[in-house]
Structure 1
Amino acid sequence: MPWSNQSGGPWGQKPQGPWGTGPQGGGGGQQPDLEDMLRRGQDKLKGFIPGGGGGFRGFAVIGLGAILLWLATGFYTVRPDEVGLNLIFGRYVGKTGEGLRYNFPYPIGSVIKPRVTTVNTIEVGQRTGDTSQRITQREVPEESLMLTGDENIVDINFTVQWQVSPTDPQNYVFNLKNPDASIKAVAESAMREEVGRRNIQAVLTSDRGPIEEEVRKLMQTQLDEYGAGVEIRQVQLQKVDPPQQVIDAFRDVQAARQDQDRVRNEAETYASRVVPEARGEATRIIQAAEGYREGVVADARGAASRFTQVYETYKTAPAVTRERMFIETLEKVLGGSDKVILDQKGGQGALPLLPLGTLQGSDTPSQRNVGGQTGTVIQQGAGR
């Protein structure tokens, strides 16, 4: 040293500062010597090293301690929502679960710990922001306007919820450079494909649920093909409307279609009531005609059979058959008419006759069976 505590330094014999004054403060004690402090530190360090720290042995002990301290930096902790990805010289060698783990320390090894339980949300067609404690939404028409299968334009906003795959987190880390942009591009492509398969009426009304599920499956399939290491949890449609410029005209068209459906339903209801009645009436007429046909055919067959039987009888006894047929014919002709029978053998004229039919409470002449034949009997001849 160029000066010592005894000489007082460059400012004189007394311990003074650079501005010509001595040290301030109570006690008036002497300032500590920096060189003396370094010397005492070296002495303490030699006490810890065997042999006084001299030679190769001392440097070996110091090097070994440094190596052990460096190796101890390889311990790391994996949280329950993380997966540890071990790398050696930048190459992926395996993954570890939660808990205290170890890998070679830097620069040989390193660890990447992606979170596999965090659910992330991507918006397509709109952007939601929080400014001045107020949530605002901004439309993105270049993402939301899509073409349907019947060549109509529909405005769709939807969100995609995704998370890192717990089974393949290394694919997410090493295969995706910009996960949000990649997933958003796949989501927009899948939604356009599904909307392009349907007409606008189905997209606006009945197919919202099927579209969400089909888009989720299609996204998952495409991301798996890319080896993205991402799981799509849910696709949710936020807004499905016609473009703002034509929404009034579209509502008029919707009202006209509703009227068309109403009138069609009324016509179908009327048809469902009238057509069965007409079919029933037609069936009744057909059945009546068939019954009449069967009756006429049966009568004709009976008459033909009866005529054949009479003919067979006539061939056996012609005289008797002719008389019987004559009597039957008279019975049919005279059976329903008033008759007067005169006995030409018994007298010269007609005899008074008691109206038996009137006395019996009937306006028709009395009937009796004579010789197996039915006839009206007025008077029997007195000469018999």
Structure 2
Amino acid sequence: MSWSDNNNNNNPWGSPGNGSGRNPGPNIDDVIRNAQNKFKGLMPGSFFGKIGPLIILLILLLIWLASGFYRVLPDEQGVVLQFGKYTKTTQPGLNYHIPWPVERVFTPKVTKINRIDVGYRQSPDSRVTAIRDVEEESLMLTGDENIVDIDFSVFWLINDAGAFLFNVQAPEQTIKSAAETAMREVIGQGRIQSILTEGRTEIENKTGVLIQEILDDYKTGVTITQVQTQKADPPSQVIDAFRDVQAARADLERQRNEAEAYANDIIPRARGEAEQILQQAEGYRQKVIADSEGKAARFLSIQNEYAKAPNVTKKRIFYETMEAVFSDMDKVIIDKSSGDTVVPYLPLPELSKKKQD
């Protein structure tokens, strides 16, 4: 049977052709009528008239039921709605649902890392790196009553597609609001010096934990993978003054370090000198005590000898005293028995010197 009829210009379904040359598409009534005509040609007229419509309906029913098979990719989850109400979540693989209009299926990506920026907006054009600051989101009050301008990004993924789609009305806006709230709470507990310097990692970790707690309370079906601080500076209106303060603090810290280094150098040396002086004083004390004890013992010994022979002891003490007195002096000896006119002179120092030479 040929689908083309050059005599009456009918289309393949037996209807008149479109004069404009455009194919309006098959009509369901024409399809059913043609199918009935084909079955009538194969079967007796009375038999087909009874079961023909049932067979056609059965075929259409099978086609409709077969359309309920669907595939969920490895990075997706299937969310099944029955008459618009969420019923279940299906995992990757081949699945089945009652076809439309009874059930519908959504397959959101659950392994894709999504990103939300807070405090700034990036240009949608990837070739342009323009960033616009959003001060109503980025300006936050610190625990020591300073203001910090902080921009950060939150990275997240879906762990429960059903909860993500139906537990909250605007999940991305909810995530953003939770992120801003959590960051404000963490910043409000910190000091600006730590926030601007070494405290960023701790702030990111605390904020991520707090965001996750908030989203879990709302049952959003979202997992926070990372919080990344993009910028943390004083407000632009006072940043110059703040840098001056930072420079002054750096000078103060440098001078403090220099003073500590000097103290670490001078204090041990001073302690060493003090210990040396104490040791010298102790040695001198021991020497004086020993000398005094020796002199006292000598005096007692002389006293005992003097008691035995006073005259002899007296002369010996006299001679020893004279020896001590005249030992370092120039001495001249005059013999008085030689007479008054001639004074015999005996140059003892010169004689001693010649004797030494």
Question: Which residue, 167, 173, 181 being the options, matches 2:165?
Answer: 173
Q: Which residue of 1 aligns with 2:147?
A: 153
AA aligned to 1:83 is: Q
Give the 3 Å change call, closer, same or farther, for CA 258–43 of structure 1 in structure 2: closer
Q: Which residue of 1 aligns with 2:292?
A: 303
Q: Which residue of 1 aligns with 2:325?
A: 333
1:304 Cα offset (Å): 1.6
User: In structure 2, what is the Cα distance between the partners aligned to 1:88 and 1:341?
Assistant: 146
1:262 Cα offset (Å): 1.7
TM-superposition CA deviations, 1:312-351 (whole Å, max 9, x none): 5754784376665555434322322344567899x87858
Q: Which has the larger radius of gyration?
A: 1
TM-score by length of 1: 0.66
Give the 3 Å change call, closer, same or farther, for CA 323–59 of structure 1 in structure 2: farther
User: In structure 2, what is the Cα distance between the partners aligned to 1:81 and 1:306?
Assistant: 106
Give the 3 Å change call, closer, same or farther, for CA 327–222 of structure 1 in structure 2: farther
Higher mean C-alpha deviation, range 203-212 or range 270-279:
270-279
Percent identity over the alignment is 34
1:223 matched to 2:215? The reply is yes
Q: Which residue of 2 aligns with 1:212?
A: 204
Is the contact made by 2:165 and 2:171 (CA closer than 8 Å) also made in structure 1? no
Q: Which residue of 1 aligns with 2:21?
A: none
Matched position secondary structure for 1:360:
helix
AA aligned to 2:195 is: V
AA aligned to 1:218 is: L
Give the 3 Å change call, closer, same or farther, for CA 40–358 of structure 1 in structure 2: closer
Q: Which residue of 2 aligns with 1:369?
A: none
Higher mean C-alpha deviation, range 118-127 or range 180-189:
118-127
Higher relative contact order, chain-length normalized (CA < 8 Å, sep 6+):
2
Unmatched runs of 5 consecutive residues or more in structure 1: 1-25, 363-384
Q: Which residue of 2 aligns with 1:255?
A: 244
Aligned residues: 325
Question: Which residue, 357, 360, 369 being the options, matches 2:352?
Answer: 357
TM-score by length of 2: 0.70
User: In structure 2, what is the Cα distance between the partners aligned to 1:95 and 1:193?
Assistant: 38
1:60 Cα offset (Å): 6.3
Give the 3 Å change call, closer, same or farther, for CA 182–260 of structure 1 in structure 2: closer
User: In structure 2, what is the Cα distance between the partners aligned to 1:40 and 1:275?
Assistant: 106
1:122 matched to 2:138? The reply is no
Give the 3 Å change call, closer, same or farther, for CA 202–70 of structure 1 in structure 2: same
Higher mean C-alpha deviation, range 230-239 or range 334-343:
334-343
Matched position secondary structure for 2:65:
helix
Higher mean C-alpha deviation, range 78-87 or range 304-313:
304-313
Give the 3 Å change call, closer, same or farther, for CA 239–49 of structure 1 in structure 2: farther
